[in-house]
Chain A
Amino acid sequence: MTTTTSRAPKPATTRRRRPFNTRRAGAWALLALAIAVSVVPFLWVLRTALSTNGSLASQSASLLPADFTLGAFMRVFGLQSPADAVAEGGSGAAIDFWLYLRNSIIFSSITTAGAVFFSAMAAYAFARLRWKGRNAVFSLFLGTMLVPPIFTALPNFLLIKNLDLLNTMLGMVLPYVFMTPFAIFFLRQFFLNMSREVEEAAMLDGAKHLRIFFQIVLPNAAAPLATLALLTFIGQWNEYFWPLLVGSQDDVRVLQVGLGVFKSQSPQGAPDWSGLMAATLVSALPVLILFAAFGKKIVNSIGFSGIK
């Protein structure tokens, strides 16, 4: 925290040609503060993850890890015996990290790919096709965004149960894989702004809707599709309740649910903070990597669609 605040304003003052400017310095200070506010929690997570649970509470004011140990990370990867974990004040429960990671990747990838593709088709229909009752259906669709997910959780659960799909990847994926109202809304806004001339030219050349969709609309919408895919992926990666209900067995349990063992153990007991923080860091990594790789694209696409 202290390093970022003191270092950040420097470029403004030491840069050669520009004279000192209070407004500029103020902007830098604000930026530094914003960075500090968003980065410090991560540092705190890291610091907690590297601490021993038993020392955390009594050294709560120290910025450095309390009683440095890598035990929490070993716990996450299942490298620590339950007895050692308990001795460190952690959770004696082991999680099968790599298996859960695999499940999380499968779950998030399938739902993302499905939702983006099918939503694109639906958005195309809502934006480019003319049919009776289109706007009414679309409003209805948007209206479903108002229904809290908890309302549909139980009926969905019973449906999946009656289909005999409990504890299967298919059962976990089904409620998400086809479409989400938000995705349709998001893509429809983009498709509405695409030029009709290109489409009409294609029609004159004899292209049907399927071909227009695949060869013109989809390639032109690469940026918003990528944005949507990333947003969906992050959302699915963090999904907790549904996977908890449906995928409780090891072979389909996802990482977020697996991490729950660090959260609470006995009633009124304190959570295994360092284990929880270590696990959270590790499970956030894939998303951070994705963001680092595609972040620019997102910003571009949002800017792109915003200007238009």
Chain B
Amino acid sequence: MKKSLGTAAVAAAIALSLSACGGGSGSSAESAKGELSYWLWDANQLPAYQQCADDFQKANPDIKVKITQRGWDDYWSTLTNGFVGGTAPDVFTNHLGRYGELAANKQLLPIDDAVKKDNVDLSAYNEGLADLWVGQDGKRYGLPKDWDTIGLFYNKAMLSKAGVSEEEMKNLTWNPQDGGTYEKIIAHLTVDKNGKRGDEAGFDKNNVDVYGLGLNGGGDSSGQTEWSYLTNTTGWSHTDKNPWGTHYNYDDPKFQSSIDWFAGLVDKGYMPKLETTVGAAMADTFAAGKSAINAHGSWMIGQYTGYKGVEVGIAPTPVGPEGKRASMFNGLADSIWAGTKKKDAAIKWVEYLASAPCQDVVASKAVVFPALKASSEKAAEAFKAKGVDVTAFTEHVKNGTTFLYPITDNTAKVKGIMEPAMDAVVSGKKPASSLTEANNQVNDLFK
């Protein structure tokens, strides 16, 4: 309930900000100096960005950067309130799922001129990342900072106990009809209270001790870590085109059969019930030994490998009916608030954040993959030095098996419709065919 109130407040705040704001331009006369405020949500990356800020200040003694970290839960509501109240940060970490609306509401400063003038080499970023931040109006609203893909985290001890080799784990196949070897392994890794495995006779699906696959939630509109790595191997995609599609495809039988299979895992006892995921972090339940495999994003590497006493391996997502793997490709960028009074300084800082000196610092901390190709490789090295093999994530980028996070208008409303619809299906209350109705509602938003 808290969440829905928050979204309502955010939506209202955005609507209000349309009328309340407007005095963003005309500040270019100010020179590049003063104190910049910069917001991000990931505390794990704070040390890296603090160092970037320190280095930046050394090179630009006239500019001070003040970093504020805010947890993800409050980040967007406080940000939109800041737009309305005139207290938003000059520069902030932006998300693909949100920036379309922020740009449409004229809260973001286009940076095309600066990018051209300062000769920012857009081809140095991983393919597609820089283009994501060109809005529907053709203007650029951010420079990419990092990217993420999806992989399968697995519990090594459970695998070896079940006699599943890591080689098998790395060569999984999947299809919506029988689930392929992916379902076989998930079933085999599921263990009930009597020690019977999911593929053995007498398996008690109502008293499961270890689930083969962990569940994060229903996955709302994007299914980023939940199901999109499966649905999109069937040739299905969220929207008619990406970015800036105007038609969603949740009514496609290909999608619905995949979701039926996914929800069926709960029914078979291979995946926890949806209601048990509320208030619990999937990663924590994994570390507590309650699930053997978790599909999760690369930004969670630190969390999964940070648990003491749990040996974690990472496998690539399974190969689907079209003979390829698939992973959502999401990226963050740093954007400038249209209402900033320190435009030039803000541009300098954003360009620095997107440059090799800063992204190499981020890479060296081995938390996320920076957007620059060269820095990405350095991050992979840094992970390796920590004893973590991250090829499951980088492979997607190398082999071009990624698809972009669906960027459209109305993302908040789409999410508002799809979240309860997907929850109803994954919790087994409705069949996947009920998503056709939700899809009609979603597409009505674009009329």
Tell me, yes or no, whether B352 is within 8 Å of chain A by CB: no
Count, A-B residue pairs, CB within 8 A: 128
Contact A264 B73 (CB under 8 A): yes
Tell me, yes or no, whether A285 is within 8 Å of chain B by CB: no
Contact A261 B303 (CB under 8 A): no
User: Residue on B with the closest CB to A275?
Assistant: B43
Contact B5 A167 (CB under 8 A): no
Q: Which residues of B contact A113 (CB under 8 A)?
A: none
Contact A270 B281 (CB under 8 A): yes
Complex: A227 Cα to B299 Cα, angstroms:
49
Could you tell me the dominant secondary structure of chain B's interface residues? helix
Given contacts A57-B284, A57-B287, A157-B81, contact A263 B73 (CB under 8 A): yes
Given contacts A67-B308, A265-B72, A269-B300, contact A57 B43 (CB under 8 A): no
Contact A161 B303 (CB under 8 A): no
Given contacts A82-B46, A86-B47, contact A248 B300 (CB under 8 A): no
Tell me, yes or no, whether B323 is within 8 Å of chain A by CB: no
Contact B47 A248 (CB under 8 A): no
Contact B308 A264 (CB under 8 A): no
Contact A265 B225 (CB under 8 A): no
Complex: A244 Cα to B9 Cα, angstroms:
13
Tell me, yes or no, whether B44 is within 8 Å of chain A by CB: yes
Contact B85 A266 (CB under 8 A): no
Tell me, yes or no, whether B162 is within 8 Å of chain A by CB: no
Of A55, A244, A266, most buried by chain B (CB within 10 Å of CB) is A266
Complex: A60 Cα to B310 Cα, angstroms:
13
Question: Interface range on chain A: under 10, 10 to 19, 20 to 34, or 35 or more?
Answer: 35 or more
Point out the residue from A58, A154, A248, A263 that lies within 8 Å of B71, measured CB to CB.
A263
Complex: A245 Cα to B6 Cα, angstroms:
11
Contact A244 B74 (CB under 8 A): yes
Could you tell me the dominant secondary structure of chain A's interface residues? loop
User: Residue on B with the closest CB to A161?
Assistant: B85
Contact A268 B87 (CB under 8 A): no
Map CB proximity to B onto A90-112 as digits: 1 under 8 Å, 0 otherwise: 01110000000000000000000
Point out the residue from B44, B287, B296 that lies within 8 Å of A268, measured CB to CB.
B296
Contact A260 B72 (CB under 8 A): no
Q: Which of B57-78 contact A (CB under 8 A)?
A: 69-74, 77-78
Contact B47 A58 (CB under 8 A): no
Complex: A93 Cα to B68 Cα, angstroms:
9
CB distance from A152 to the nearest CB of B (A): 12
Contact B43 A93 (CB under 8 A): yes
What 4 A-B pairs come out closest when comparing CB atoms? A57-B287, A270-B281, A264-B71, A92-B46
Residues of A within 8 A of B (CB): 52-60, 67, 82-83, 86, 89, 91-93, 150, 153-154, 157-158, 161, 166-167, 244-245, 248-249, 260-272
A-B pairs with beta carbons under 8 Å apart, 11 shown = A54-B307, A58-B287, A92-B43, A92-B46, A93-B69, A150-B5, A154-B16, A158-B16, A166-B87, A248-B87, A261-B69
